[in-house]
Structures are given as structure tokens and as C-alpha cells.
Amino acid sequence: MGANRLACLVVGAGAMLGAAGVAAGQWRDGAQVYEKVCAHCHEANVGPVLKGRQLPQVYIERVVRHGNRAMPSFRPSEIDDTALAEVAQLIGASAPAVKE
């Protein structure tokens, strides 16, 4: 396991703990979920870039619930179904990130 993947697991575990502190239905919207949970890895070149890839919503929801490789899974008690659907829709409809 590479250092980047290990760092992602550590950050992901921290995000999970932080997410666990937010009760189901307490997320403001999908953007907040992305900012507080996803961006730690997917905006830091640790996990794959998600924005702008037109990933299907069902695929995103499945990976979030079941994990994939170094990405941890997130239980409904951590990210409720409504918030998950919102973040999946946000990611699926997003434009590619602009690199400066």
C-alpha cells in the first residue's frame, strides 16, 4: 500500500468519524458532504478526480456505500440516503475542475 493510499485511509477514517458526529438528516446539502468528506482525498490527488467525469449517480452511491480499493465505505448513519443522493447528483453533473 502506497503512502498516498495510506494517507487517504487515515483521512477517510477521520472523515468517517467526523461524519458520524453528524446525525442522519443533518447535512445541509450534497455540497457540504463533498466538502467535509469527499474533498479530503478527491481534491488532493490521493483518490481519483470525481468532478467532470459524468459518473452515473448509481455508481457513486454504490461506491460510497460499499467502498472501493482504498476508499472506505460510509454507512447510512454517517451519510444518510438523501445526502448521498445529493452529493452523487452534484458530482455526476459537475464540470471538470480547473487547474491553475
Per-residue pLDDT at 13 exceeds 70: no
How far does Cα 24 stand from its chain's mean position?
A: 16
Cross-strand pairs, 52: none
Question: Of 19, 71, 83, 88, which is the active-site residue?
Answer: 71
Question: Is pLDDT larger for residue 8 or for residue 74?
Answer: 74
Element (H, E) at 44: none
Q: Would residue 3 show up in a list of annotated catalytic residues for this protein?
A: no
Q: What is the pLDDT of residue 14?
A: 52
**What's the pLDDT band for 96 if we cut at 50, 70, 90?**
confident
Cα–Cα dist 17/59, whole Å: 24
Q: What is the pTM of this model?
A: 0.74
Contacts with 95 (C-beta within 8 Å, 6 or more apart), sequence order: 51, 52
Per-residue pLDDT at 17 exceeds 50: no
Cα–Cα dist 22/74, whole Å: 13
Q: Would residue 71 show up in a list of annotated catalytic residues for this protein?
A: yes
- Per-residue model confidence as pLDDT tens digits over 19-52: 544 555 789 999 999 999 999 999 998 999 999 9
Question: Of 16, 39, 70, 85, which is the active-site residue?
Answer: 70
Torsion on CA atoms 27, 69, 17, 56, rounded to nearest 10: 0
